Amino acid sequence: MKLEKSIELYTRGKRHLVGAVNSPVRAFKSVGGVPIFIERAKGSKIYDVDGNEYIDFVLSYGPMILGHRNGVVEKTIKKYMKNGYTFGASTKGEIIMAEMVCDAFPGMDKVRFVNSGTEAVLSAIRLARAYTGKNKIIKFAGCYHGHSDALLVAAGSGLATLSIPGSKGVPDEAVKNTLIAEFNNIKSVENHIRKGGIAAVIIEPIAGNMGVIQPDKKFIKELRELTKDNDVLLIADEVMTGFRSQYGGAQELLGFEADITCLGKVVGGGFPVGAYGARNEIMEMVSPLGDMYQAGTLSGNPIAMACGIATLKELKKQNPYKDFEKTAAFLEREMKSAAKKNGIDLQVNRFGSMINPFFTKTRVVDFKTAQTSDTKKFKTFFWKMMENGVFLPPSQFESWFLGTAMTKRDIYKVRSAIQIAMKAVADKFNK
């Protein structure tokens, strides 16, 4: 595995880029070594500047669900680019895209497009506060909702009671109204709601930034009932899960309906698109209909809308979700089998087209149990997978993503890489 050109670019990039990257996970801090610099991608494959070919399980952290440079999507983008890139005015594409998104999410009457998942979430929080007239927000330890100040909160030692800024530059005042609860623990939510003043609870229906973690059916049912009974809005952050496990949201599969839904990633098909939507009475609080102000020069960008529309149309046509489930189940079996053969403790969590392993004997159901995973073992596993042509997120706590462009040949190659990587972990740690 050659890395000379990536090393050269990393050294060069450090001069004018922070850490030579524009998003922290790309720096490979969790797994060590030099970050990989990508040159191009096509279908299920991604290629770095040194010419190494990988089967891509990062998929730009989710958006490239149809694989890279899907023919139909690319043709659509080129067609719309001929008309111009951005106008600062409304276009027909925004209306078409809004109709498609609202049709896919029961209970969503109106949607507002923005430019990122972070922007969608911070707007949804503002909207919840405007609608309820209350200020406090409950989030769950380990759930990531973007880098806005109010949600960059670390659990610390006071998991269910204290809100401590998780980043320098975030003042205590910015998070004083953000309360932390435990994923899959309804009592931790009840304790906060009992004290009053809660505008909303925000949750990733399927957590993806502490690894893939599903909510217990009883927990999610009780959470919806608890919020309704106490006039608290429930916000579903489906930036990662929207259109990933079915055409629509994970909410429907889990059997609940949020008051506000946030979207991103797949809905933009690879372009910067976020969205938040809700029923009419809530969304009509948003300017220009209401007094909750939110705006964006590039929101509803015509090229991004065209890409999103083409992606959603292709997804609806292909309906790949049963195939995703079969592939994920196969990968789970292969990882568990290879781990058992090599005497390695392993848990594998998955939901639809999202999957990842944890190097622990503990069942992973929340942030605390996710942290029992042996990250040193993951580091060895990660680099062996890379050496054998499989591009994974460079973090134990990031989901892997499946795409429709992956072939049976790709998956069998991944199986071989898993067997080699698990043996490497055993050789290094089982002494």
Sketch the domain layout of the chain as residue ranges: 4-69+320-429, 71-318
Q: Catalytic one among 48, 56, 237, 366?
A: 237
pLDDT band at 160; cut points 50, 70, 90: very low
Is the model's pLDDT at 425 over the cut of 80?
yes
Question: Domain 4-69+320-429 adopts which CATH fold?
Answer: Aspartate Aminotransferase, domain 1 (3.90.1150)
Q: Could you tell me the pTM of the whole model? A: 0.94
The CATH number of domain 71-318 is 3.40.640.10? yes
Write the pLDDT tens digit of every residue in 177-199.
Answer: 999 999 999 999 999 999 999 99
Q: What is the mean pLDDT of residues 329-334?
A: 98
Q: Strands 354-358 and 400-401: what pairing?
A: antiparallel
Strands 178-181 and 400-401: unpaired
Q: How far apart, in whole angstroms, are the C-alpha atoms of residue 71 and residue 339?
A: 38
Is pLDDT above 80 for 166? Answer: no
Q: How far is CA 87 from CA 298, 299, 300, 304, 310, in A?
A: 9, 11, 10, 13, 20
Sign of CA dihedral 77, 80, 85, 86: negative
- What contacts 121, CB < 8 A, 6 or more positions away? 145, 146, 148, 151, 202, 235, 237, 239, 262, 276
Looking at residue 431, what is its pLDDT?
74
Confidence of residue 175 (pLDDT cuts 50, 70, 90): confident
Q: Does the annotation mark 144 as catalytic?
A: yes
pLDDT at 165: 55
Catalytic residue among 10, 61, 131, 144: 144
| Same fold across 4-69+320-429 and 71-318 | no
Give bridge partners of residue 165 from the DSSP assignment. Answer: 153
Angle between helices 92-104 and 302-318 (to 10 degrees): 40
Q: Tell me the sheet residues that pair with 110.
A: 278
Q: Is 61 annotated in the active site?
A: no
352-373 pLDDT tens trace? 999 999 999 999 999 999 999 9
Residue 60 has pLDDT above 80, yes or no: yes
Among 265, 377, 379, 384, the active-site one is: 265
Phi, psi of 214 (to 5 degrees): -90, 150
| pLDDT of 151 strictly over 90 | no
Give the model's confidence band at 161: pLDDT under 50 very low, under 70 low, under 90 confident, else very high: very low
pLDDT of residue 45: 98
Mean pLDDT of 74-79: 97
